[in-house]
Amino acid sequence: MLEEGGYLRFYELKGNTVVPPLGSKVFKTADPDWIESEQTKAEGQSSHEQTKASFQIEGISCIGCVWLIEAIFNESKGKIAIKIDSSSNILELCWHTGEFSLVSFVEKLQRIGYQISPLSEHAQPTKVTSQIEALIGLAGFFLLNTMLFTLPTYLGMSESFFLSPLFQLLSAFFATLSFAICGGYFIKRAIFALQRKVLHIDFPIAAGLVAAYCGSLVGWALGYSSLLYFDFVATFIFLMLVGRWVQEFAIERNHSHLQKHFHGPGEVTLIGGHEDGATVQASDVKRGQSYSIPPGAINPVAAHLLDQEAALSLEWINGEPEPLDWEKGAIVPAGSINVSSGSLRLKADESWGDSLLAELLKPDESAITDNRIQGILKTYLSLVMILSLLGGSFWFLVGSDALKALQVFISILIVSCPCALGVALPLCDQIALGRLRKMGLFVKNPLLWGALRRVKTIVFDKTGTLTMEVPRLKNPDIFENLSPQALKATYILSKKNTHPVARSILQSILAHKASLSNTLSLDQQATKETIGKGVLWFDQNGNEWTLGKPVWKAKTDEIMDQSANASLRYNGALVANFFIQEDLRDDAREVVNFFHQQNFATAILSGDRGERVYPIADNLKIPRPSVRSECDPYEKARWIEEEAFESALMIGDGANDSLAFKSAICRGTPVVDRNILEASSDFFFFGRSLKTLPNLFGIAKQRHQTIRNVFLAAISYNCIAITICLSGHMHPLLAAILMPLSSIATLLIAWTGLGQNSSRDLF
C-alpha cells in the first residue's frame, strides 16, 4: 500500500528502528458516525473559513510515521496544516471549512495501522523534563554571568582594583539567583524525601549546595577569599540539572511508548434503559447492566449471554486459543474474548470490582525496592560527614583558626560531590535504554537492572509468548492457484472474522495479494456466521461461498482431509483446504539455547493442553520437569514461588499470567493486539523475535561493569580531592576545576563503556 501511494520514503526515515506489529488493527474499519460528528462539531464552533481540531492518534513509532501521516494529510483536499506531538500522541489538524473530509483521512490512516480517536482529557504532554529544561537554561545563564565576574580575580585582578568589589557583588548576586531559583529544585526534593524518611540522591546534592553557598556568604562578608565558592555553586547546579534531565528524559520517553500501546481493559456499550448507546469504561460496569462488546473485545465481567449463540475464546483464562461455542443464557466468564463476527449482548452477573479479571489485573503493591542505592548513600554521607568534622576539628585544635577550620569542613562537603550518582548514572541508563529501544525493547521500571542480576530462571507462557498470537498458514501458496472470484470470496469471508484460523488466512492472503485490501467497493452483502461452523456469503450471482469447518456444507460423497483446519466451498463443492499450525517466534530456539549456555534454567507454564505444550517444549529442548500444561493462574504463581523463589523472570501476555507476574522478581511482555499486562510489567518488547531478551541481559551486564568503573573513578577522585582538602590547600579555583573534570571523566567512562554499537551485545 505504501508503494502504490508513493510513500516508500517512510522506510528511509524509519531506518533500523524496530516498530510494533500492526496486528489486526489494519483489518478494523473506522466508525464514520463519530468522525462525522466530530467534524460537524468542530466546524460548527469555528467562526472562520478555517477549522481546527485535535485528536488522539495511536501507532506512531518513529520519525517515518510522522512523515507518512503528514504526507497523507497534505494530499487531502481542503488541507491547511497538521501538527503531530508524538510524545503525547496528539494530532492537531487545520482545514478549510466544508472542503476537507475527515472520514476519508481517518480511513486512509486506519488502513496502514494508525488509529484516530477523540482527544482524551488525560492526553497532556508530560511537564517534568520541560520544567528541568527551563531550569537548565536559567542555570546556564547564571553560570556564565557568575564566571564572567569571577574569572578576573583568578586571572590576577587585585582586591584593591576599584571594580573588584562590584565584581564580587555581581558574582554573589548571580550565584544567589542560581541557588535560589535552580538549586531549590534539589533542596525541595531532598526535604520532601526526608519528611518521608527516605534518603534520596538529592540530599547529598542539596547538602553540598547549601554548604558551598553558606560558606561563600561567610567568606564574602569577612573578606576571606578561600571560602568564596560562588562559581562552584553555579557550576554544580548546572551539571546536576543536566544529569537529572537525562534521567527524566529516559523515563518519560519509555513511558510515552507504553501509553501508545496500553489501553486498559477497554470499553463497552450499554444497551437498554436511559443509558442506551452510552460508552463506558469496562471498569465502570455494574451488576445487572446490559452491554455489548464488539468483535475481538474482552468481556470484562462474568455475564449472561443475551444472544442466541456466540463464539468465545478462553485463551486469556486457560491458554487454549481454540474458540468455544456458547448458547443463550450461558454465563460467559470474565476475560473471554469475542471471536464472533458481530457484537455480543451480555448482562453483567457481577460488577467489575468483583470480577476475576479485575482481581488478576490488580496492580502489584510489592514493587522492587532499590535498597543498594540507599545503602550506598548512607555510607557515602556518613564517611563525608565524619571526614568533614574530623578535618575541621583538627585544623581548629591545631591551628586555632576558625576560618581555616571552616574552610576545610566546607571544602570536603563541596568537592566530594556525588557526580557519579548525579550525572554518570543517568547517562548510563539513558545509553542503555536507548540501545534497547532501537532493538524494540522498552524498560518501564528503572529498578529492573538490580532485579535482573538475581534472575536464575526464565519462565515463559506459551501462546502469544513463545508462539505468535495468530497461528501460521502452512500452505500459503494455495492463493496462487485460486481464481480471482475465489480470492475475493476468501477475503470477504475472513475480513471481519476474529477467529484465529480466519485471522491467519486473512493475513496470509493479504501478504500474497495485498491489492485485495484496496478494493473498498466489494459486494456489500453481509456475511452470515453460523457459530461453531463457519461464515457464509452469497455473491452477486447468488452463488454460496462458505469458509469454515471442513465438514460444514460438504457433500455426502466427499472424501475428507482430516488434517485440514478450514475449507473454502463454492455451492458446497470444495475449493481449497487450509492447514494451520502454531508459529514459534523468530529465534525462539536460539534464545532458549543461549539461556541454557549462560546457565539459566528455563520453564514453560501454560494453560493450554499438553498435546500443544509438550511438542513446543521438546522443540526448544526445555526439560519436561520444567514444563506445565493446563495451569490456572494460581498454579503458575505457586510453581514460581516453589521452584524459582526470588529468582524468576516471567514472560507472559495474558490475564492468566498476572499472578505469576506478581510472584516473579521481574516481568516482561510482548506487545500484541490484546495485551493489558504492560501496566504491571517491568519491560515490554515489539516484533516477532525474542532476541531482545538476551540483549537485555547483555546490556544489563555492560551497564553493571560500566557503573563499577564509574564508582572506582569517583572513589579515586574523592580520595585525592579530600586529601587536598584535609591538607588545607583546597582553593575555590581548584575546586571549580576539579569538580567539572571529575564529571567529564565519569561521563567519558559511561560513554566508552556503553556507547558502543550493538556488536557488543551478547546475542
Distance separating alpha carbons of residues 572 and 550, to the nearest angstrom: 11
Average pLDDT on 357-374 reads: 57
Give the count of alpha carbons within 13 A of 640, CB side only: 33
Q: What is the pLDDT of residues 147-167, one digit of tens each?
A: 888 888 777 777 778 888 888
Residue 261 clears pLDDT 60, i.e. is over it: no
What is the reported pLDDT for 678? 67
What is the reported pLDDT for 82? 92
What is the reported pLDDT for 638? 93
**Judging by beta carbons within 10 Å of its beta carbon (0-12, 13-18, 19+), is residue 518 exposed, middle or buried?**
exposed
What is the reported pLDDT for 180? 92
Closest C-alpha among 454, 312, 298, 443 to residue 371: 454
Provide the residue type at 733 as one letter: L
Three-class DSSP category at 305:
strand
Greater confidence (31 vs 547) lies with: 547
What is the reported pLDDT for 421? 62
Closest C-alpha among 54, 44, 2 to residue 26: 2
What is the reported pLDDT for 546? 93
Residue 411 clears pLDDT 90, i.e. is over it: no
Greater confidence (122 vs 424) lies with: 424
Residue 604, all three cell numbers: 514453560
Residue 643 clears pLDDT 90, i.e. is over it: yes
Other CB atoms within a 10 A radius of the CB of residue 530 amount to: 15
Task: Answer yes or no: are the C-beta atoms of 184 and 193 closer than 8 Å.
Answer: no
What is the reported pLDDT for 21? 62
- Distance from chain centroid for Cα 674: 15
698 φ, ψ to 5°? Answer: -65, -45
The pLDDT confidence band at residue 258, using thresholds 50, 70 and 90, is low
Residue 299 clears pLDDT 50, i.e. is over it: yes
How many degrees, rounded to 5, is the angle at CA 357 between CA 671 and CA 611? 65
Strand order in the sheet with 601-605: 441-443, 683-685, 666-670, 648-651, 457-460, 601-605, 627-628
Average pLDDT on 346-354 reads: 89
What is the reported pLDDT for 601? 95
Other CB atoms within a 10 A radius of the CB of residue 562 amount to: 6
Average pLDDT on 351-361 reads: 77
- Number of DSSP helices (H) and strands (E) in the chain, helices first: 25, 27
Residue with cell 575541621: 392
Q: What is the pLDDT of residues 54-113, one digit of tens each?
A: 988 877 878 888 999 999 999 999 999 999 887 677 899 999 988 899 988 988 888 888
Task: Answer yes or no: are the C-beta atoms of 167 and 148 closer than 8 Å.
Answer: no
What is the reported pLDDT for 545? 93
Q: At a CB cut-off of 8 Å and minimum separation 6, what does 169 contact? A: none
Looking at mean pLDDT, say which of 194-203, 494-503, 636-645 comes out highest: 636-645
What is the reported pLDDT for 756? 56
Q: What is the pLDDT of residues 425-454, one digit of tens each?
A: 777 888 888 888 878 888 888 788 889 999
Residue 369 clears pLDDT 60, i.e. is over it: no
Q: At a CB cut-off of 8 Å and minimum separation 6, what does 657 contact? A: 461, 633, 636, 650, 677
The pLDDT > 90 percentage for the chain reads 20
Q: What is the pLDDT of residues 668-689, one digit of tens each?
A: 988 765 556 666 788 888 767 8
Three-class DSSP category at 395:
helix
Kind of pairing, strands 279-281 and 115-118? unpaired
Task: Answer yes or no: are the C-beta atoms of 334 and 299 closer than 8 Å.
Answer: yes
Average pLDDT value for the chain: 81
